[in-house]
Amino acid sequence: MRSLFLFLLLLNILYGLWQFQDGRASQVLRQVADAALEGGLPGRDAAQSSVDAPLVSGRVEERTTLCVNLGQFESSADAGQLRQRLLALNIQAYVIRRDVPDSVDYWLLMSVPGGREAQMQRLARLQEQGVDSFIVTQGVHAGQLSLGVFSREDYARARQSQLRAQGYDVRVESVEKLGRLYVVQVDSAARRLVDQAMLARLRNDFPGLQHQFHPCRPIANGSNIP
C-alpha cells in the first residue's frame, strides 16, 4: 500500500513537471510567432544588424568621401603653380585634366558603301571636280567623307543645298569639339585645411579661383597630370 502511494505520488510529480515544461514551450513558441509577425525573429535580427551595420556605414563613407576641387584653369601650367603652392603648405594635391564640350562644328557628310577602296575612289572623283573633301578616320563618323566643316549651321545648310543641286547626297551632322580644363584636387584627408581664410589668400594670387566639393577622383589614371 505504501509502495502504491509512493508510485502515484511520483506520477503526479512527473505529470506536474510535464505540464510546466509544456506551458513553457508553448509560451516560447507564441513569442517566436509574435516576433515573426512583427518583422523578424528576436536575436537573429539583432545579430544580423550587428553584422550589416559596419558594411552599411562603410558603404556610406565610401560614397561620401569628398575632395576639394580648385580651379578651373585653361592651362596646365597655372594649375601646376597652384599645386606647388599647396604642396609647400603640406597640403596633398593633384592636377586633373578634364575634357569638356567647347564648341559645335557642323559637318557635311557623305556615306560611301563598299569599304575603303570605294571611299578612296569617291574621294578622288570629288577632288578632281574641285570639291574640298577628306575621309573621316576617327569617331562615330569614321569611314565617311566630309565635304566641309562649318562653325555655323546656316552656313552648313547653304553649302548642303549647293552640293545637292550638283547631285551630291550629303547631310549635316553636328559634332562637339572638346576643350581641356584643369582642376587641382585636394586630398580628402587635407580638405579641412582649405578653409575660407586659405581660399582668400589663394585668390590673391589666383583671381576668380573657384572651389567645389566632389567625390574624390581616383589618382591612378591617365587624366592626372603630376
Q: Are residues 49 and 6 in the same domain?
A: yes
Q: Write out 150-207 in H/E/C secondary structure.
A: ECCHHHHHHHHHHHHHCCCCCEEEEEEEEEEEEEEEECHHHHHHCCHHHHHHHHHHCC
11, pLDDT greater than 80: no
Q: How many domains does the chain have?
A: 3
How confident is the model over 43-69, as pLDDT tens digits? 444 333 333 333 333 444 445 588 899
How confident is the model over 133-146, as pLDDT tens digits? 898 888 788 889 99
Q: How far apart are CA 64 and CA 86, in angstroms?
A: 23
Q: How far apart are CA 80 and CA 184, in angstroms?
A: 8
Reading the block at residue 184, the C-alpha cell is 587641382
Q: Are residues 185 and 171 in the same domain?
A: no
Q: Are residues 160 and 113 in the same domain?
A: yes
Q: Are residues 107 and 172 in the same domain?
A: yes
Average pLDDT over residues 96-117: 87
Q: Are residues 96 and 112 in the same domain?
A: no
Reading the block at residue 81, the C-alpha cell is 603653380
**Residues spanned by the domain of 8:** 2-62
Q: Are residues 38 and 139 in the same domain?
A: no
Q: Are residues 31 and 82 in the same domain?
A: no
- pTM of the prediction? 0.45
